[in-house]
Every structure is written in C-alpha cells, then in structure tokens.
Amino acid sequence: MILMRFPIAYAVGLSTVFCLISQGQSIVTFPQQMVKGIWSFSLMAVPFFITMGVLMGTGGIFDKLIALANSLVGWMRGGLAMVNIVASYFFGGISGSTSL
C-alpha cells in the first residue's frame, strides 16, 4: 500500500484490519486493542506534566529555578551542564516525579 502512495496511517490501519480478518478474529478487536494500548496509569501523567509546565512557564518559576541553580553550581567548571541537572532536580522535587 505504501508503494501505491497510500498515507502511512491508512496503510498500517488497513493492513491490521486485513490481518485480523485473515486470522478469523473479529474487527471489534482492533479498537479494543487500540484503547488497551493507551489505557495505562503512567500515560495519565502526561497531560498533568504539560499543564505543570505551562503554569510554571507563565508564572516565571523557570527563570527563578535556573537563576538559583546557576548561583549554586554555575561558577564551577562545566557549570552549564550542572545547572541543567540541578534545575531538573528542583523541577522533579516540585512536580513530585523524583526517582529513588
């Protein structure tokens, strides 16, 4: 289908439907598997992190976190990389996504 210049999304979808039919499975399985693929607890955090980023960006916290991290480790050799790590550490602490 790709060689016939179908869009990739249609080619993948149609080939999946043809495969289900050839295996004797119901077409209802296709949407059920799609929903099952995105129905996970960890994916629920994505919209919340986006909202948190927008709120922090409009509120100006990003600039203050970068300035704090820069004052703590920015003066050292390789300070730019360390500022990135320390600011990410602070953001993880604020958002509650720290990994232990």
Residues 56-79 have a mean pLDDT of 89
> Cβ–Cβ contacts within 10 Å for residue 12, how many?
13
**Distance, CA of 63 to CA of 68 (rounded, Å):** 9
- In percent, the amount of the chain with pLDDT more than 70 equals 96
Dihedral in degrees, nearest 10, Cα atoms 90, 93, 99, 100: 100
Predicted TM-score (pTM) of the model is 0.49
**Distance, CA of 58 to CA of 31 (rounded, Å):** 38
Across the chain, mean pLDDT equals: 83
**Distance, CA of 69 to CA of 55 (rounded, Å):** 20
- 15 and 27 in one domain? yes
Which structural domain range is residue 13 located in?
8-39
- 57 and 86 in one domain? yes
Write down the pLDDT at residue 29. Answer: 78
For residue 74, the number of C-alpha atoms closer than 13 Å in the C-beta half-sphere is 9
- 61 and 17 in one domain? no
